[in-house]
Amino acid sequence: MADLPYSPHLDRLIDLALEEDLGSGDVTTQALIPPELQGEAQIRAKQTLVVAGLMVAARVLARLDPALTFAPQVADGREVDAGQVLAVITGPVASILTGERTALNFLQRLSGIATFTRDMAAQLARATTVLVDTRKTAPGWRVLEKYAVRMGGGRNHRLGLYDGLLIKNNHIAAAGSITAAVRQAKARGHYLLKIEVEVADLPGLEEALAAGADLILLDNMDDATLKQAVDLTRGRAWLEASGSMTKERLPRVAATGVNAISMGALTHSAPAVDIHLRLVKTWR
């Protein structure tokens, strides 16, 4: 899968989704479709969208029945219009119909994230500020949803708790102060890990800078305070704005000069897009 890193979770997730839908068997297809019937189906976009997840849909069908052939007609990351054929599937009709919903669920969800992200990223087209996602993903879907964000033109924040050191407000409360938390992180974290600290006000920013934070997350600050934070920092740390981000607000936040804007809505609030599968011919 182009640009989609291998994850052992993927096949487990697909198998779980198929098990959830298939149960003891597709009783409708078993009643109506003879096993020997072959056919061709097309997956089409029913609206303008950014494609993401074609190879995931292909993997769903391959896990269900290796006799199915899945031929993508476009590449992930491409914006297409309504009516565009996204993929052609050939093989046993019974298997096509049984796997249809699960394959489309993955494709519609991931393409929805990519489409929503492309729209948000377009608001920053004239800025150097980058748009990044968060860990606010559906359980088990993180690798896929972060892939979809990239296909939409966004960037990924840390994948999990293991690949980035982010000191948040509850960590600070437990450690006693920003200074103490950064000191402990520097002493115990390995030297390749950068340290990011979440702050809610300018005094917190000053303390994080003095403690030597590499990155600082400016949480739920208004635009004027964000601009003050940028001026105060003077390039000494990478600044990430987060909280209460909307499409309309993104250009204003970027204009403050922050380096990045993180937006949980990219994954937790992106609507699925409209994609369907139609059987176009059959043969025996």
Catalytic sites, residue numbers: 101, 136, 168, 198, 219
Which residue has 């966004």 as its token pair? Answer: 154
Which residue has 């708790």 as its token pair? Answer: 161
Q: Is 119 left (phi over 0), alpha (psi -120 to 50) or beta?
A: alpha
- For 164, the token pair is 């980035």
- How buried is 269 (Cβ within 10 angstroms: 0-12 exposed, 13-18 middle, 19+ buried)? exposed
Q: What is the dihedral of CA 73, 3, 150, 159, to 10 degrees?
A: 140
Sign of CA dihedral 151, 79, 117, 88: negative
What are the CA-CA distances from residue 272 to residues 36, 47, 131 (Å)? 34, 11, 20
Cα–Cα distance between 77 and 118 in angstroms, integer?
9
Cα–Cα distance between 170 and 173 in angstroms, integer?
5
- How buried is 162 (Cβ within 10 angstroms: 0-12 exposed, 13-18 middle, 19+ buried)? exposed
Q: Closest Cα partner for 103 from 14, 5, 9?
A: 14
